Amino acid sequence: MQNYPAPAQALVAEMSAACAADPARAVAFQGAPGANSHLAALETFPNGLPLPCFSFEDALDAVRDFRADHAVIPIENSLHGRVADMHFLLPESGLVIIGEHFMHIRHTMMALPHHGQITQVMSHPQALGQCRHYLRANGITPISYPDTAGAAAAVAEAGDPHVAALAPSIAAGIYGLKVVKDDLSDGADNTTRFVVLAREAQEVPLGSVSVMTTFIFEVKNIPAALYKALGGFATNGVNMTKLESYQRGASFAATEFYADIEGHPDEPHVRRALEELAFHTKWVRLLGTYPQARERIIG
């Protein structure tokens, strides 16, 4: 609680108390009330009780510790790439992905009601990155903060007339700020993809809906390892919509990958592709199979 700026603490306490009384309806999100993740939680679970958590780890812990039934976590943005390091956080949490949600993102610049010339703006690094061209063109210095709405609360608390926040427009009303400029983004199609996490997987019957499967794997440290590992997806006609590499540890000798594919692991062509992947890698770990929220168009 003490990590939140003072203007957010009372509302965080109120929302946390409501979730504690009915954890089966609680939906954990990262950020202060009014953050984009708060709005995504409401869109994904209209009858849920959003539970604000200061960090991504706190949101996952809330589900793991039965203080929330689900978590809604941003995983990637169309303009600024990766949001949360889920390839690290999710395997350690023991949670599984059971759904996804796409949300169109537009930022609002907000400041004190009697603000002066804005010279600095606070927000989550993702929001700052999604508006970097605008900020640079207007000579505004970006300042990183753990979340968008928390930045709005921090601006209200600090009382500096030259500092603004980038946050959803709802945050201005929550924290008593004035809208300086609305509908900010460096791209009209700015979209964030969220994943829905739970303690247990939900059954997705074969053929019932179009599904996604997410997994991580580590390639062997040999020439053409990735080429061999992914060959089965090409030969079996499995569409891979995301492949991202990362290093674990300081040796830089073991490359791990995070991947999304279209299809269910029990479908014959997907099963064959995953079997071939397992043969050519050190290990493979499935993180979830879940209904598609948006069709992936192959161009």
Which residues are annotated as catalytic? 192, 194
Tell me how far CA of residue 98 lies from CA of 37, 101, 194, 211, in angstroms: 17, 11, 11, 10
> Distance between CA 10 and CA 153 in Å, rounded?
12
- 233 with 274: CB under 8 angstroms? no
Give the dihedral sign, CA 87/89/94/97: negative
